[in-house]
Amino acid sequence: MAFWFRLRPAVRHCAEREKFRRGLEPANRARSIGAAGVQQRQRAAGTGMKRTRLALAALVLGIAGWSVGIEPGWLQQRQLVLAAPAWTGAPLTIAVAADFHVGAPHAGLPMLQRVVDELNAARPDLVLLPGDFVIQGVLGGQPVAPEDIAAVLAGLTAPLGVFATLGNHDWWLDGERVRKALETAGIQVIDNRALPLASADGRLWLAGIGDDMTGHARPDAAFAGVPADARLIVIMHDPANAAALPPQTVVAFAGHTHGGQVRLPLIGALITPGRAPRRHSWGWIPDAPAPTWVTAGIGTSILPIRFNCPPETVVLRVGGTDD
């Protein structure tokens, strides 16, 4: 009996300790499960972040590859129609290409030949080339002689002729040399002058404005002698001179900006060269005195990239409101 009494407190103590241990097991299991869940969620979050970073890296690399390797060579032809209230007579088809920058990556002589073929296929009445035939500084570029460029452009044909103005890159190289090469190929350079074009009523005129960036723009000289009742078409290298268009202007064309080369959705061009504001970098200028289209051009300068701004030729059909 004495032994039993001595053992009984110990047995009771063991039983109570076992009961206490069993009581802790659910809480311990809950804590273990909770810790495991936290670890699992942390691992899932880490995996999600890793996948997000990989997706963003793939997106950036894809955009970079597209902008450098594909879009600069993705030549488009933009078809435009303009109903001009002052227009009389048959509609006129005008083909435009600017900023060739021959020798830039994706813009070599083969690209130039594609441009010539596309413009001729449109069967234009008039071809206009608003300048920058050569390159003076583009990463990865190989300059091409103006004479070689003009030899390809000599293949352009149009009943009313092929006309050009010079751009800032042409002047930076040698403006007179570029002019001579073009005119030898049958392309008339009309910086700061106007001339009549063959038309049934004798009222169709063409004027060209010289390059603004290099100080060769003289709009007053360009429009001197244009009759007040003329139907005037204007080419200029730089849209900075659009504000000088006279009231006789039916339509005008400019280049120089390359459309910005990089155009972001809802933002447009990030930068544009020269005095023209960013809103004048591409397309119809909203506040010009006359309808003025700024083309994205063919080549590139400084960096050989394009994003959301592919190279383009332009074919515009202008006629009266009833055409």
| Distant-in-sequence contacts of 35-44, Cβ < 8 A, 24+ apart | none
pLDDT at residue 136, as a whole number: 87
Tokens of 55: 């997706």
pLDDT number for residue 272: 87
pLDDT of residue 68: 85
Q: What is the pLDDT of residue 44?
A: 62
Q: What is the pLDDT of residue 3?
A: 39
CATH assignment of 75-319, given 2.60.40.10, 3.40.50.2300, 3.60.21.10, 1.10.340.70?
Answer: 3.60.21.10
Of 95, 276, 54, 36, the C-alpha closest to 168 is: 276
Sheet holding 188-189, edge to edge: 76-83, 312-319, 92-96, 126-129, 162-164, 188-189
- Which tens digit of pLDDT belongs to each residue from 66-103? 788 899 999 999 999 999 988 888 999 999 999 999 99
Let me know: does 229 contact 250? Beta carbons within 8 Å.
no
Give 206: exposed, middle or buried? Use CB within 10 Å, 0-12, 13-18, 19+: buried
Residues of the chain with pLDDT under 70: 1-46
Domain boundaries, the chain: 1-73, 75-319
Q: What is the pLDDT of residue 203?
A: 94
- What pLDDT score does 34 carry? 58
